[in-house]
């Protein structure tokens, strides 16, 4: 499965929030605590791959842990990547297993999210308003799944249609990864 996703930096987050709420109802508020792992020599990042343990806490206090592996990008413009993800019952055990296999925490940060799940053109979609504690601005991610690279253009076209319907112009799209942006922010802070 390829995660067909586009991300935008929102100029008018309040307006986009209202459009999302009008179209899809109230969003699901969650906090993501992401820990990205790499080999000691940085082989995963060098190969544009990601290994992540995500702990999700809902507004009701419920907790979910996800173990995710993303392979290298198959589309340079969108940054879409093949993704393999599974729920894990025990977050501490997931971290211990990943460390036990020789991986080291490379970066950890928090995302405050409001998620909207819906269907568009027969596709299951997820739109997520995101605030990253260490970054300025509000981001919008819209994603769906593509079975393979042949299906990716149609999946990305559906994502672009959702973004356009929410009033998000192509000029606001960004391919910068949160990991890159957070690492750069930390480097600037430590240099000050």
- Quick: pLDDT tens for 49-81: 999 999 999 999 889 999 999 999 999 889 999
What's the confidence (pLDDT) of residue 190? 84
For residues 53-90, one letter each, b for 16 or more C-beta atoms within 10 angstroms of the residue's C-beta and e for the rest, the string is bbbbeeeeeeeebbbbbbeebbbeebbbbbbeeeebee
What's the confidence (pLDDT) of residue 179? 93
Cβ atoms within 10 Å of 23's Cβ, excluding its own:
14
- In the chain, how many domains are there? 1
What's the confidence (pLDDT) of residue 19? 97
Round the average pLDDT of the chain to a whole number and report it: 96
Pairing type for strands 63-70 and 139-146 reads: unpaired
Answer for the pair 160, 175: CB distance below 8 angstroms, yes or no: no
Cα separation of 156 and 159, whole Å?
5
Cα separation of 191 and 187, whole Å?
6
What's the confidence (pLDDT) of residue 191? 82
CATH of the domain at 64: 2.40.320.10
Q: Chain centroid to CA 12: how far?
A: 20
CA proximity to 29, closest of 90, 111, 103: 111
Mean pLDDT within 22-41: 97
For residues 27-37, one letter each, b for 16 or more C-beta atoms within 10 angstroms of the residue's C-beta and e for the rest, the string is beebebbbbbb
CA proximity to 24, closest of 14, 35, 16: 16
- Residue 101: pLDDT band (50, 70, 90) is very high
Mean pLDDT within 154-164: 97
What is the tens place of the pLDDT at every residue in 12-27?
999 999 999 999 999 9
Mean pLDDT within 114-138: 96
Cα separation of 121 and 114, whole Å?
22
Answer for the pair 69, 49: CB distance below 8 angstroms, yes or no: yes
What's the confidence (pLDDT) of residue 52? 98
Query: Looking up tokens 């806490």, which residue turns up?
Result: 57
- Residue 156: pLDDT band (50, 70, 90) is very high
What's the confidence (pLDDT) of residue 75? 93
What's the confidence (pLDDT) of residue 71? 97
The parent domain of residue 183 ranges over: 2-191
Residue 55: both structure tokens together:
């702990």
Q: What is the DSSP letter of 157?
A: H
With a cut of 90, say whether residue 189 has pLDDT above it. no
């Amino acid at each position: 499965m390829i995660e067909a996703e586009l991300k935008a930096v929102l100029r008018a987050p309040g307006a986009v929030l209202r459009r999302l709420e009008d179209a899809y109802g109230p969003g699901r508020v969650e906090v993501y605590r992401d820990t990205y792992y790499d080999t000691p020599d940085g082989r995963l990042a060098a190969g544009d791959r990601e290994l992540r343990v995500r702990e999700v806490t809902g507004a009701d206090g419920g907790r979910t842990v996800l173990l995710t592996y993303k392979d290298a990008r198959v589309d340079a413009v969108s940054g879409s990547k093949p993704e393999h993800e599974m729920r894990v019952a025990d977050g501490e055990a997931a971290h211990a297993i990943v460390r036990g296999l020789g991986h080291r925490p490379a970066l950890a940060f928090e995302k405050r999210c409001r998620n909207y799940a819906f269907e568009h053109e027969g596709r299951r979609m997820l739109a997520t308003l995101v605030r990253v504690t260490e970054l300025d601005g509000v981001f919008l991610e819209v994603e769906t799944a593509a079975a393979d690279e042949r299906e990716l253009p149609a999946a990305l076209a559906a994502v672009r249609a959702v973004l356009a319907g929410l009033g998000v112009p192509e000029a606001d799209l960004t391919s910068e990864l949160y990991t890159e942006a957070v690492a750069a922010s930390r480097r600037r802070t430590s240099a000050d």
